[in-house]
Structure 1
């Protein structure tokens, strides 16, 4: 008879997310994971089958937590410029405060571009963010907050790309003034 699981799977995924986020997939060993999660190798494999599966679940958790906040803010019926400024400012502050950690989504895209599951998760999350941004920009255009000659989908693609570049630059420790200047230029694209 199998022993009952002595740990909460969701808690373990959260701890693994933090570890993968700090160290990356390749630098995180099974030993690191078992130590961080406080479980044995057998329990890890019984619950998650592989390091790759645990990473996939950790990345999914990251995407739901971090993209979820962004989506919630942009889905609100508020001034788009203020919402975008808030999103960009929040991301910049986070990255400047902890440049070594960066964005797990960017880290995943750059560390594991050849892994189909990772690439699919990154693409799905970016597509969702782009879609929510486009919807917010369409609402702004209908209210007269965005010029009629602006294409909301193109603007959403630009902003999605800009956000990821901003995350990379935060990790490059470019400083608050650099990031603030870049955000102001990006916001002018909405004029």
Structure 2
């Protein structure tokens, strides 16, 4: 009879996320995982498979959290554009709080695509869910008269998704948070068809738990 596991798999996955996030996939050796997770090689293989399988499970857990935030952070109350501006500001602030490591999902895309099919499928699903959430919010903005008539909700969602992903890459070279803020201000002024930025609905953009 196999012995029952004496460790919390979810807690182990959270520690694996932080290690892969900090070092990247290729630079993380099995010895690093043994030291960080506090498990022997045989226990890691038995519970999670090889390094790649563990990485996929860690990335899946990370993306599931991000998808859950997008599904619950936007609602029908308050200005649609301001609410979306606040959400994106919080996402970028949360990743900035993690220092030079940046965004785990963006890092994974940059390092492993297009050659890793499993990671590609995870990334494509997450990006698609984000685009759908942004599109729904911009459809509400259009109904409420907030969205410029020159921009469709779908094209606006594509613009925001590309902007956020690009900001994550650029700030590895230029971590000044003012750049991200200026980019969001410009994008939302464009979406609103105004010369002045759209104010986020939150009184203060704060860095929450890492989700980007």
SS at match of 1:60: helix
Q: Tell me, in whole angstroms, the C-alpha distance in 2 between the residues paired with 1:172 and 1:67.
A: 27
Q: Which residue of 2 aligns with 1:172?
A: 173
Q: Which residue of 2 aligns with 1:129?
A: 130
Contact 1:96 1:171 in 2 (8 A): no
Cα distance change of structure 1 residues 86 and 74 upon mapping to structure 2, 3 Å threshold:
same
Cα distance change of structure 1 residues 9 and 121 upon mapping to structure 2, 3 Å threshold:
same
Deviation at 1:10, TM superposition (A): 1.2
Q: Which residue of 2 aligns with 1:79?
A: 79
SS at match of 2:100: coil
Detail structure 1 runs of 4+ shifted over 6 Å in the superposition.
Answer: none
Contact 2:138 2:153 in 1 (8 A): yes
Question: After the TM superposition, which of the residue ranges 113-122 and 28-37 deviates more from structure 2?
Answer: 28-37
Q: Tell me, in whole angstroms, the C-alpha distance in 1 between the residues paired with 2:43 and 2:84.
A: 43
Q: Tell me, in whole angstroms, the C-alpha distance in 2 between the residues paired with 1:7 and 1:137.
A: 44
The gaps in structure 2 that reach 5 residues or longer are: 193-212
Question: After the TM superposition, which of the residue ranges 89-98 and 45-54 deviates more from structure 2?
Answer: 89-98
Question: Can you list the C-alpha shifts for 1:22-53, whole angstroms capped at 9, x where unaligned?
Answer: 11111111111111111111010001111111
SS at match of 1:150: coil
Q: Which residue of 2 aligns with 1:45?
A: 45
Could you say which structure has the higher helix fraction? 1
Q: Tell me, in whole angstroms, the C-alpha distance in 1 between the residues paired with 2:110 and 2:77.
A: 34
Deviation at 1:135, TM superposition (A): 0.5
Deviation at 1:157, TM superposition (A): 0.6
Question: Can you list the C-alpha shifts for 1:81-107, whole angstroms capped at 9, x where unaligned?
Answer: 212221232233234333321111100
- Counterparts of 1:22-171 in structure 2, within 5 Å, are 22-113=22-113, 114-171=115-172
Deviation at 1:66, TM superposition (A): 2.5
TM-score by length of 1: 0.92
Greater RCO structure (CA 8 Å; 6+ sep): 2
TM-score by length of 2: 0.83
Contact 1:75 1:132 in 2 (8 A): no
Deviation at 1:75, TM superposition (A): 4.1
